[in-house]
């Protein structure tokens, strides 16, 4: 079974906020949901409608509109996420 390792960096704290694994069946979910389900406080005021642009990760990507699979580099099973205000 394919498992993807996720590392979440907080840029404000310059530390690793969380590390967890995703199963294959989670790879096409949105990252707003996946991160919040793990207790990571992602900002949002539109509840994932892609309107408020508060949920930004990795600079300019909306977490609610991005799946872990989209962040996977070819041939890798690791996803790196950075959040500016954590
Ligand atoms: S939660 Fe509002 S744009 Fe993503």
**Pocket perturbation via mutation, ligand 1, pick of 41, 55, 57, 61 by most ligand atoms within 8 A of CB:** 55
Mean pLDDT of the chain: 96
Q: What residues contact 3, with CB distance under 8 A and at least 6 apart?
A: 21, 22, 23, 24, 77
Task: Please check the confidence at residue 76 and state whether its pLDDT lies above 90.
Answer: no
The confidence score (pLDDT) of residue 1 equals 74
Q: What's the CA gap between 54 and 40, in Å, rounded?
A: 14
Rounded CA gap, 10 and 26, in Å?
A: 22
d(CA 31, CA 13) in angstroms, rounded, equals 21
Q: Is the CB of 10 under 6 A from ligand 1?
A: no
- Residue 67 burial (CB count, 10 A): 16
Task: Specify the pLDDT at position 31.
Answer: 98
The string of pLDDT tens digits covering residues 51-65 is 999 999 999 999 999
The 10s digit of each residue's pLDDT in 8-47 is 999 999 999 999 999 999 999 999 999 999 999 999 999 9
């Amino acid at each position: 079974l394919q498992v993807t390792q996720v590392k979440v960096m907080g840029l404000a704290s310059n530390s690793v906020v969380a590390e967890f694994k995703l199963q294959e069946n989670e790879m096409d979910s949105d990252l707003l949901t996946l991160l919040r389900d793990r207790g990571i406080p992602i900002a949002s005021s539109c509840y994932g409608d892609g309107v408020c642009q508060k949920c930004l990760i990795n600079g300019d990507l909306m977490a609610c509109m991005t799946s872990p699979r989209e962040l996977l580099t070819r041939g890798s099973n690791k996803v790196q996420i950075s959040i500016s205000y954590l």
